[in-house]
Structure 1
Amino acid sequence: MRTRVAIVGAGPAGLLLGQLLQRAGIDNVIVERQSADHVLGRIRAGILEQVTMDLLDEAGAGARMHAEGLPHHGIELLFDGGRHRVDLQRHSGGRVVMVYGQTELTRDLMQARAAAGLQTVYSARDVRIEGFDGTRPRVVYRDADGERRIDCDFIAGCDGFHGVCRASVPAGAVRTWEKVYPFGWLGLLSDTPPVCDELVYAASPRGFALCSQRSPTRSRYYLQVPLTERAERWSDAAFWDELRLRLDDAARARLVTGPSLEKSIAPLRSFVAEPLRFGRLFLAGDAAHIVPPTGAKGLNLAASDVKYLAQTLQDYAADGSEAGLDRYSARCLRRVWKAERFSWWFTGLLHRFPGEAPIEAKFRSAELDYLLGSEAGLRTIAENYVGLPLDG
Structure 2
Amino acid sequence: MRVLAFSIDLPGHLDWGGYLKTARELTRRGHDVMWVSGPMVKAQVRAAGVAFTPTSITGWRHALPPIRPDLSPQQREMERMRRAIIVWLDAASVLAAVQALEEVADAFRPDVIMTEPFAAAGAILAERRGLPLVVVGRPAQPPKAPNPRRLPNPAIPFIERLLEQAGMEGRYWDLDRGHPRSPHLHLDFFCREWYADLKAVEPQTHFCGGAPAPPQSLALPPDARPLLLVTLGSTFANDENFFRIAAESALLSVARPLLVTGQRTPHILASLRQAPPGPAIIRDWISYDKLFPCLAGAVHHGGVATTHAALVHGVPQVVVPHAGDQYPQAARVTQAGVGYGIRPRDFTIENAPLILADILWDPEFQENARRLAAIMQGLGGPAAAANAVEMLL
Class of the TM-score when normalised by the shorter of the 2 chains: 0.3 to 0.5
TM-score normalised to structure 1 length: 0.35
Instruction: Tell me which protein shows more strand as a share of its residues.
Output: 1
